Structure 1
Amino acid sequence: MTMDHLHGRPVIIGGGIAGLMTAFHLAPEPVVLISKTSLGDETSSTLAQGGIAASLGGDDSPDLHLADTLAAGDGLGDQTASRRVVEAAPQAIEHLARLGVAFDQAPDGTWLLGLEAAHSRRRIVHAGGDATGRELIRALVAAVRRTPSISVLEGVEVRSLFVEDGEIAGVLAVGEGDAITLSTGRVVLATGGVGSLFHHTTNPLGSFGQGLALAARAGAELADLEFVQFHPTALDGPRRPMPLVSEAVRGEGAVLVDEHGRRFLADTPAGELAPRDVVARGVWHQLGAGHRVFLDARQCLGPRFAERFPAIALLCREAGIDPAREPIPVRPAAHYHMGGVAVDTEGRSSLRGLWACGEVARTGLHGANRLASNSLVEAVTSASWVAASVAAASPSAHKRLKPAIVPPRPDASRIRPIASHALGIERDGQTLRAAAMMLAPIAASRDAASDPALVALMITVAALRRKESRGSHFRTDFPSRDTQPRSLRLTFDGAFEASAALSNLLPARIA
């Protein structure tokens, strides 16, 4: 199926905050926004309980926000890229408010600012207490739907990108069983993260890194893929994705305890508000030792819990827990990917005509470990820069796309056991090598598991290459940090060459 009237327009892939904001900023230029679900549904953006970090308090500044961001990034944060984001953050909050986002306010009308781990100041702006993502999506979907220059294709999934003469030529998608081809020289990936590669995740189950697979198979460079952040406090239960118990709860004074009520992080610097990788490993070790772990908010919030965190309170009640009277069972879960498509300050990838925005992009803001609530601010600020870059690029001439086989609908279920075992909170070379040898032939097969396998393979190869422990990447066989931190880049071919070196068998190159 073709849509001739849409040919030549920029195509944005993803219906979360990054995609919505990029489409909105491109107005009045006609664009196509493709979402595999209804706009805003099944996105990490909608599930985001935490807020947006911005230096809005009288005791705060962009310099302080930058210092906290770089400290959390553990030596791999890009200072130039990070400064650009933190300086734009306060204006981004004002812009969102003008679009209709109802941020929480203090009685005097100022923004109500919260505290989260590794922040030196209260600078987290929330909406609805713990429903920031849902409120942003509500306002942005409304803004996009009333913008006539944005053509929205919902229930459509992009399966591959057309590349001709070393640049983007179009997209191949599927909607309601029919193939859709769109000729375009400008594509923006805004497809989210990789959490559903893991059994325990707070991400939607479709978030296995499809944008990374699209970019890799098209020939773009990816960077820092080994850095997967595990949130320390997902609600421990059977529900998937796992409900998040926001870091803001710890910011209000909640503590982590074992089944005996022992606060096991009491001697850790900053305790429950230490960087996420530190807290996640602390919880992981307790679980590995056979303990259970709980987040106890009875003393700091008690009967005020439901007022301060209504969405979390509802999730707890649905699980049979009253957080005002009993501690909440928690465990770490895959939450955010610091790595992604390697992009410059305008969101341009190494492949002409391909941009990336939001979690799928590696901008350098997060380094080896994302500072809490910096993800939403990255999406909303970067979207304007990406849109400006896309708008400034010369539209390519309409090309007749060659017929292509439509890849099957991706399914990560076969990959989860491998990724969960090898790519978790603690890793080691032997397990990583075994995983790479299992993943490579699946990634080369081009069946339903091949794209998830490719993403997991590239993360595995990156984790093997980083022979140190830094940020969210912890190698039990290399527990120390290198003195010269460096970012690692990887391509599709590089991943297969690395896996071939392990097995002395090169899987077939899949175009």
Structure 2
Amino acid sequence: MKNNFDYIIIGSGIAGLTTALTLGDSGSVAIFTKKNPSDSSTNLAQGGMAAMIGKGDQADWHIEDTMKSGDFHNKKEAVSFLVKNSKEALFWLKKQGVLFDAKPSLEAGHRLPRIFHTTDFTGKDIEKNLLKKISENKKISLFKNSLAIDLIVKNNICQGVFVLIEDNKIVPFFSKAIVLATGGSGQVYQWTTNPEVVTGDGLAMAIRAKAKVADLEFVQFHPTAFKGKSSPLFLLSERLRGEGAKLVDKDGKQFVNELLPRDIVARAVFEKQKTSEVYLTMAHLDKKEIKRKLPNIYKKLLTHGYYLTHDRIPVTPAAHYQCGGVVTDLDGKTSVKNLFAVGEVARTGVH
């Protein structure tokens, strides 16, 4: 088995796959994923992508909305970089085959519609198309059921990674650049929307390699996970509230502005749960439009015995996104030479 590549990427969500496709023309790339390639938070992501494309939008507005949602703890340089490159990123995904809805939607924390979806399972469509592109690139090797155990670091230089491969052997792989794209750590919590593979592996490896980390205390709890009996909980996307869904208590009374940033809404739900169950309702909205815009969520709730069009759906906050992580600059560089981090595992300063 070949164990030397120009680039090694650990993780197969949108961050890892995008990095692989970007590097695929400049050398050999290995992607290691602990189970199947589609076992990622990306594949479960329902919400869309914020991009400054709509008429009347301005970069300063998008930056201000993002800074406000981060309680101004985020780095303006990073937020500005994200906003100003959002249009190019969206168009790049379109070139990979992702078919976004024609019109952007409004979601919490945004002053106007700038969220682009592919119906209500945006992440699944992105993952599918990126994996297809990966399979067509002969320079990219994808290793499934391959668990990265530890980074190989000497004198603060990352040289590779130890991987537990499919036949239960631990094999060292070497590269001039190792990219952590391992996602978050949601499975640390009792209630999370993250899949079972999201156990903080990349963060742990980075800490053992003495890479700088920051803001690990900031974990975003999504305010509207379907209140089930076991994790991971099914997410009821931000888009529902963007389309007009209301949050109500046991008496059917609203208690919060549903379009406030997630952390504020999640805290409001948590406090209300001390005295009442909390429900999400779309019963006051057009039923045909709900089915058209949210077909997958509608079908999923039917399997639990709920009709999104007229039932009150029990919801609860659940761990959703790791805002802190491995400290990087805008190029993904960490404090360890040749080690990079992208996506949720990275602390870029955006969140």
TM interval, short-chain normalised: over 0.9
* Partner of residue 439, structure 1: none
Determine what percentage of the aligned residue pairs are the same residue.
Answer: 40
* Partner of residue 294, structure 1: 279
| Residue identity matched to 1:171 | V
Contact 1:77-1:365 within 8 A present in 2 as well: yes
* Partner of residue 212, structure 2: 221
Q: Please say which of residues 136-145 and 297-306 is displaced more in the overlay.
A: 297-306
Alignment of 1:3-42 (within 5 A): 3=1, 5-28=2-25, 29-40=27-38, 42=39
Provide the C-alpha distance between the structure 2 equivalents of 1:230 and 1:66, rounded to a whole number of angstroms.
22
Provide the C-alpha distance between the structure 1 equivalents of 2:222 and 2:336, rounded to a whole number of angstroms.
32
Query: Is the counterpart of residue 272 in structure 1 residue 258 in structure 2?
Result: yes
Provide the C-alpha distance between the structure 1 equivalents of 2:282 and 2:169, rounded to a whole number of angstroms.
51
* Partner of residue 48, structure 1: 45
Return the match for 2:318 from 333, 339, 347: 333
Provide the C-alpha distance between the structure 1 equivalents of 2:130 and 2:228, rounded to a whole number of angstroms.
32
* Partner of residue 170, structure 1: 160
Query: Is the counterpart of residue 342 in structure 1 residue 327 in structure 2?
Result: yes
Q: Deviations over 1:30-53 (max 9, x none)?
A: 11111112222x210000000000
Contact 2:157-2:338 within 8 A present in 1 as well: yes
Provide the C-alpha distance between the structure 1 equivalents of 2:330 and 2:193, rounded to a whole number of angstroms.
28
Provide the C-alpha distance between the structure 2 equivalents of 1:257 and 1:215, rounded to a whole number of angstroms.
42
* Partner of residue 224, structure 2: 233
* Partner of residue 101, structure 2: 104
Q: Deviations over 1:289-313 (max 9, x none)?
A: 2x11100111124343222101111
Return the match for 2:252 from 242, 256, 261: 261
* Partner of residue 186, structure 2: 195
| Residue identity matched to 1:55 | M
1:239 CA drift (Å): 4.4
1:240 CA drift (Å): 2.6
Other structure's SS at 1:300 match = coil
Give the aligned CA root-mean-square deviation in angstroms: 1.1
Return the match for 1:114 from 105, 120, 145: 105
TM-score of the superposed pair, with normalisation by structure 2: 0.97
1:61 CA drift (Å): 2.1
Provide the C-alpha distance between the structure 1 equivalents of 2:255 and 2:71, rounded to a whole number of angstroms.
24
1:8 CA drift (Å): 4.3
Provide the C-alpha distance between the structure 2 equivalents of 1:155 and 1:208, rounded to a whole number of angstroms.
15
Q: Deviations over 1:448-488 (max 9, x none)?
A: xxxxxxxxxxxxxxxxxxxxxxxxxxxxxxxxxxxxxxxxx
Return the match for 1:182 from 169, 173, 180: 173
Query: Is the counterpart of residue 140 in structure 1 residue 140 in structure 2?
Result: no
Other structure's SS at 1:330 match = strand
| Residue identity matched to 1:169 | Q
Contact 1:69-1:82 within 8 A present in 2 as well: yes
Other structure's SS at 2:176 match = coil
1:71 CA drift (Å): 1.0
* Partner of residue 344, structure 2: 359
Q: Deviations over 1:15-42 (max 9, x none)?
A: 11000000000022111111112222x2
Provide the C-alpha distance between the structure 2 equivalents of 1:45 and 1:104, rounded to a whole number of angstroms.
18
Between the two proteins, the alignment pairs up a number of residues equal to 349
* Partner of residue 292, structure 2: 307
| Residue identity matched to 2:197 | G
Provide the C-alpha distance between the structure 2 equivalents of 1:116 and 1:166, rounded to a whole number of angstroms.
42
* Partner of residue 207, structure 1: 198
Contact 1:232-1:333 within 8 A present in 2 as well: yes
Return the match for 1:319 from 304, 308, 316: 304
Q: Please say which of residues 90-99 and 226-235 is displaced more in the overlay.
A: 90-99
Higher helix share: 1
| Residue identity matched to 1:215 | A
Contact 1:252-1:301 within 8 A present in 2 as well: no
Provide the C-alpha distance between the structure 1 equivalents of 2:58 and 2:111, rounded to a whole number of angstroms.
11
Contact 1:256-1:272 within 8 A present in 2 as well: yes
Other structure's SS at 1:162 match = strand
1:206 CA drift (Å): 2.0
Contact 2:191-2:230 within 8 A present in 1 as well: no
Other structure's SS at 1:288 match = coil
| Residue identity matched to 2:264 | V
Contact 1:167-1:185 within 8 A present in 2 as well: no
Q: Deviations over 1:63-99 (max 9, x none)?
A: 2111111111112111111111111101111111111
Unaligned runs of 5+ in 1: 106-111, 266-270, 367-511
Moved over 4 A (4+): none
Unaligned runs of 5+ in 2: none
Q: Deviations over 1:241-277 (max 9, x none)?
A: 1111011110111110011111122xxxxx1111111
Provide the C-alpha distance between the structure 2 equivalents of 1:306 and 1:157, rounded to a whole number of angstroms.
39
| Residue identity matched to 1:208 | T
1:6 CA drift (Å): 3.5
Contact 1:286-1:293 within 8 A present in 2 as well: yes
Q: Deviations over 1:385-422 (max 9, x none)?
A: xxxxxxxxxxxxxxxxxxxxxxxxxxxxxxxxxxxxxx
Other structure's SS at 1:184 match = strand
Contact 2:24-2:139 within 8 A present in 1 as well: yes
Provide the C-alpha distance between the structure 2 equivalents of 1:301 and 1:335, rounded to a whole number of angstroms.
29
Alignment of 1:340-489 (within 5 A): 340-366=325-351
Provide the C-alpha distance between the structure 1 equivalents of 2:6 and 2:24, rounded to a whole number of angstroms.
12
Provide the C-alpha distance between the structure 2 equivalents of 1:103 and 1:58, rounded to a whole number of angstroms.
17
Provide the C-alpha distance between the structure 2 equivalents of 1:33 and 1:314, rounded to a whole number of angstroms.
33
